[in-house]
Amino acid sequence: MRRDWEIRSHTTGIVFARATSTWVMMNQKTRRLSKMPDEVRAEISPWFINKQAIKEESVEKIDKLDDNAKYINSGLQPKRSDLDMNHHVNNVKYVGWMLEAIPEECLENYQLSNIILEYRRECGSSDVVESLCEPEQVGIIEDVNYMSRCPIGAGFLNCLVNQCIRFTHVLQVKEDSKCQEIVRGKTTWKKRNNHYPYCG
């Protein structure tokens, strides 16, 4: 089951952000995935619409990271306000923990333009989380290729506006000397444009 979101200006209709998600059902006793009962599907199917906020793309594999990751932030613990009604850490906190490992230089000079999350397990109030982050070489290669295509007279700064870098992320907890992954993710960052508050 999908849930999509679109954030736009009520006045101008300009779209600021789009998001999509895939939801599954889980058996509360076994904590395993479960098939959606026909009666539940029949109850919610009238609300389904044949429209997507983001066009379907091939699922990109998110690589596993280990303690050799370039950036690591350890000792992250959830607060009471981070928990949902099931006493699990909410999704927004996961994003915050991932950003904790992003280098400061990136946060100052780039803005987040895309994020992909792949959930692996639940995170509870007693878990101590480690945030791993690794820059992707593909982003650097794309920047070099883009610079080589800049038209004469475009100016160096204008070319930098479209620069982007990418990071792979993993949130994990250590139990009995073994690492248990909570979330894998990817973030894409575009060069900040100081002249415009929002770049489409």
137-187 pLDDT per residue, tens: 654 444 444 344 444 444 434 444 457 899 999 999 988 778 999 999 999
**Which of 106, 123, 133, 169 does the annotation list as catalytic?**
123
Give Cα separations from 141 to 113, 115, 157, 168 (angstroms).
Answer: 18, 20, 18, 16
**Which of 88, 109, 162, 179 does the annotation list as catalytic?**
88
Burial 7-17 (b: 16+ CB within 10 A, else e): eeeeeeeeeee
Average pLDDT over residues 186-196: 80
16-34: per-residue pLDDT in tens?
Answer: 888 887 777 777 788 777 8
Block residue for tokens 């007279």: 153
Handedness of CA 147, 149, 152, 155 (dihedral sign): negative
| 162 labelled catalytic | no
CA distance 1 to 56: 14
The pair of three-digit structure tokens given for residue 192, joined into one six-digit string: 């900040």
| 50 labelled catalytic | no
Residue 157, pLDDT score: 42
User: Are the CB atoms for 51 and 45 separated by under 8 Å?
Assistant: no
- Residue 92 phi, psi dihedral angles, 5° rounding: -60, -35
Residue 162, pLDDT score: 55
Q: Which percentage of the chain shows pLDDT scores above 90? A: 40
CA distance 165 to 141: 10
The pair of three-digit structure tokens given for residue 62, joined into one six-digit string: 């998110």
Per the CATH hierarchy, to which homologous superfamily does domain 60-200 belong?
Hotdog Thioesterase (3.10.129.10)
pTM value is: 0.69
Task: Say if residue 54's pLDDT is above 70.
Answer: no
CATH 3.10.129.10 in the chain, residue ranges = 60-200
Residue 152, pLDDT score: 45
Residue 58, pLDDT score: 56
**Which of 50, 86, 145, 194 does the annotation list as catalytic?**
86
89-146: per-residue pLDDT in tens?
Answer: 998 899 999 999 999 999 999 999 999 999 888 899 999 999 999 998 654 444 444 3
* More reliable by pLDDT, 146 or 193: 193
Give Cα separations from 20 to 14, 137, 141, 145, 180 (angstroms).
Answer: 18, 26, 28, 30, 26
| 106 labelled catalytic | no
Given 3-state DSSP classes, what are the helix, strand and coil percentages for the chain, each rounded to the nearest 5? Answer: 25, 35, 40
Residue 141, pLDDT score: 40
